[in-house]
Amino acid sequence: MQTLIHQSLEDLPVIPKLNGVEMKGGIIPYFAQDISFVIDCLQEINKNDSLKILTNVIDTNRVGVFGVSLGGIVVAEAAAKDNRIKACLIMESPMTKYVMKYGLKIPTMIMTRDAETMRIEREKFGGWTEKDIQQHLYTMTNTYERLPTDGYFIQIPGMFHVDYLDVPLWLPYGKYFGLTGSIETKKVHNIINTFSIKFFDKELEGRKSDFLNNPQKIFSNIIYKKKL
């Protein structure tokens, strides 16, 4: 599976196969189709829900997607291909060959860490080769810089990859094994939740946000860039 994922990010010397079939684009384009399928289903349910509960209730004109790690790779690919998606939040994810070629055209927020934090995580827990770090930061930064519309780029020093998930909540002793970063879990999740809600409220609901203009007023430890 890792080889199929990597093929979506960059062309490998040998094209990987799945059930004997060469996967030139890797596996991510197929995962992205799942998101489009869900939107198809929501549109159909909104037109005619057999239980008459959700008919004309779902606003399919304001669809947002978000994902972490592999999920972030998938939602970015879907957002680049499906124009029904109106806002995209990507967390800790390198971009695919398709996204790097064509870019994203919708309001996008990208969350990650700085290179030094990734290296500290490598020392404490493993992974994160220099190639991984370069690929993550270059593709995410490049995607942000080429956005033709609202864009937000957030780096949170001291935050490890797993901190984006709920793992630290049910595995609190993970910090003793180098699994989590130096920021307290509740603070990490408060940062993520605040940015996520403010982003989608602004881009899908049209609500003004003083927070997105100056988030360092509340979270002084972050590195923040925006383009509007």
List per-residue pLDDT tens for the chain, 228 residues long: 889 999 999 999 998 888 988 889 999 999 999 999 999 999 999 999 888 898 999 999 999 999 999 999 999 999 999 999 999 999 999 999 999 999 999 999 999 999 999 999 999 999 999 999 999 999 999 999 999 999 999 999 999 999 999 988 888 888 888 899 999 999 999 999 999 999 999 999 999 999 999 999 999 999 999 998
CA dihedral sign, ordered 215, 216, 218, 220:
positive
Which distant-in-sequence residues (6+ apart) come within 8 Å of 52 by Cβ?
Answer: none
* Residue 18 token pair: 């799945």
Nearest alpha carbon to residue 110 among 127, 133, 88, 85: 88
The pTM (predicted TM-score) of the whole model is 0.94
To 5 degrees, how large is the angle CA 139–CA 225–CA 112? 45
Instruction: Enumerate the domain spans of the chain.
Output: 63-227
pLDDT at position 116, please?
Answer: 97
pLDDT for 172 equals: 84
Instruction: For residue 17, list its beta bridge partners.
Output: 22
91 beta partners: 68, 111
CA distance 118 to 124: 10
Tell me if residue 193 falls in helix, strand or coil.
Answer: helix
CATH of domain 63-227: 3.40.50.1820
